[in-house]
Chains A and B, each alone.
Chain A
């Protein structure tokens, strides 16, 4: 058996299904890889060795008993620490939840277990998924396997880095403003944000409820589609879950892999024509457009005049919802409590707990959200931002009357060195410039590696209409078939 850690999830599942390797052997190989490299990468906050081996043994027992196995049975999967896992520490990257062990599984994790995948551990992230670099994790940053001195993207940097470092073939992320796609782009991996409501938020620790979308991360488009099919679909426990079947994303990925895009219309957004983007990123993007054209796609320019207002609208809506959602972390029911000395009042204890439990980015957004929602400013800020959301939705609707999908670079720049943007929060927010419009609209989008700039990965983003997730997988797989995958230097 060659090194299973280098294989795709599809290949690993075939090995297990064919009896060439047991799920336990596959799991041990990945646990060994984590032990070998994670002190340098720091993709994981918690490795669930016993739980993973138990899940793997269960798959092996089911196979021995002749039970049918799902297409990803026996494949290890890393789970972003924002999703609750029963009995396994879940911190959302925050000190305020240090050592918290949830008494229940999120729906995503329940479905992962039912499909026979092997949850192997919890991955690092910006605190409460707020950030674009994983520098705001309370447990220290994750390092990009392409260059350990650079950021792995955020907020799901741990999930993306675990894939790029061959610590897991699959991972789960959550995308509020680009937190799956942006880390995917800067680590040379695939990250997909499904249609909002296409994957369950039950058990996803809420940041901005109207935007948060859990989704798949993988090293190939087909693997991402297989994982998407496992975790997607209606969940009666989530009032925002769409009661409709997930489009056949796996078939779409396989169709795309044939490399034929004849009849597919791609739109390039005029407003994303490149201001603020690095020349190397733009060059890789233009080369990809040429490649897609050679595969038979028709490319046209489409105007989305309100996209330039997406970033300001997002940075009013997301903090507003965050200030409300994070009110539950008050030292009463979860984790940390500071100052309970019998002298201080409940209010003082709450204030001290929240001050010591939350990091700077979370505090900044709570204060910003409280401001945007406060009397006198609500109409000027939050109300206007919700109107911008309407305008952006109209832009998408008009665009999708002309084209099947929209394409853009995923990020304006490649992975930047640690600390280079933390001093200026608004500069950091620009990292999500291209990804945010889809979150406000609710549609699906995927980032697929499309080239290198200065030796670092560049991602191409494909955006599709709501509930047309299959379209983006087809185009992503076609591009992947033409440009291949990208391998980071040895760690």
Chain B
């Protein structure tokens, strides 16, 4: 049985905000199925008492003193944006026609 169906791939693409084509869906479904069947082996050796490791070094929050320091100007911070208005990122409208 396939580990992942074409419909599931379509659903995941929607969740990922990827407007994939029919052809891509077909290709990805086959490839992801092979990959998932290969990686499912991770469950073979993992007993319940083994703690998971998310990171190889201990993580600590880095907080600096609350002091004003020079930083990017608004123009620099917005320099890579596709569209800008009144010193802000300009985004397309959020609600569609029906909403």
Contacts and interface: CB of A to CB of B under 8 A. Distances in A.
A368 B35 contact: yes
A381 B44 CA distance: 11
Interface string B27-54: 1100110111011111111100011111
A283 interface: no
Nearest to B57: A197
A333 B18 contact: no
A404 B62 CA distance: 33
Contacts of B9: 367
B31 A387 contact: no
Given A367-B18, A391-B50, A424-B34, A466 B56 contact: yes
Contacts of A425: 31, 34-35
Given A367-B32, A393-B56, A355 B82 contact: no
Nearest to A99: B80
Contacts of A239: 59-62
Interface string B60-90: 1110100000001000110111110000010
A459 B42 CA distance: 28
B94 interface: yes
Contacts of B62: 236-239
A72 to B, nearest CB: 27
B55 A240 contact: yes
Interface of A is mostly: helix
Contact of A354 (B19, B39, B55, B81): B19
B42 A340 contact: no
A311 B76 CA distance: 41
A240 B59 contact: yes
Contact of B94 (A237, A345, A424): A345
A441 B57 CA distance: 9
Contacts of B52: 383, 386-387, 389-390
| Shortest beta-carbon contacts, A-B, top 9 | A442-B56, A386-B52, A337-B82, A351-B19, A312-B39, A387-B46, A103-B76, A355-B19, A389-B53
Interface string B4-34: 1000110011111111110010011001101
A332 B89 contact: yes
A388 B46 contact: yes
A242 B62 CA distance: 12
A237 B57 CA distance: 16
A313 interface: yes
Given A347-B17, A370-B12, A426-B34, A385 B42 contact: yes
Nearest to A321: B54
A358 interface: yes
Interface range, B side: 35 or more
Nearest to A313: B42
B1 to A, nearest CB: 15
9 contacts: A103-B79, A332-B89, A335-B82, A340-B83, A342-B92, A351-B18, A360-B24, A364-B28, A370-B15
Interface residues of A, number: 75
Contacts of B19: 348, 351-352, 354-355
Nearest to A429: B35
A325 interface: no
Contact of A426 (B27, B35, B45, B54): B35
A227 to B, nearest CB: 22
Given A337-B82, A346-B91, 4 more contacts: A101-B80, A334-B82, A364-B35, A425-B31
A330 B17 contact: yes
A355 B20 contact: yes
Contacts of B61: 239
Interface string A232-249: 000011111010000000
B31 A349 contact: no
A132 B82 CA distance: 31
B38 A103 contact: no
Contact of A388 (B17, B45, B57, B81): B45
Nearest to A211: B56
A311 B38 CA distance: 9
A358 B34 CA distance: 22
B95 to A, nearest CB: 7
B53 A386 contact: yes
Contact of A345 (B34, B83, B95): B95
A346 B93 contact: yes
B56 A346 contact: no
A350 to B, nearest CB: 5
| Residue of B20, B32, B43, B95 contacting most chain A CB atoms (<10 Å) | B43
A336 B45 CA distance: 43
A323 B14 CA distance: 13
A6 interface: no
A380 B31 CA distance: 19
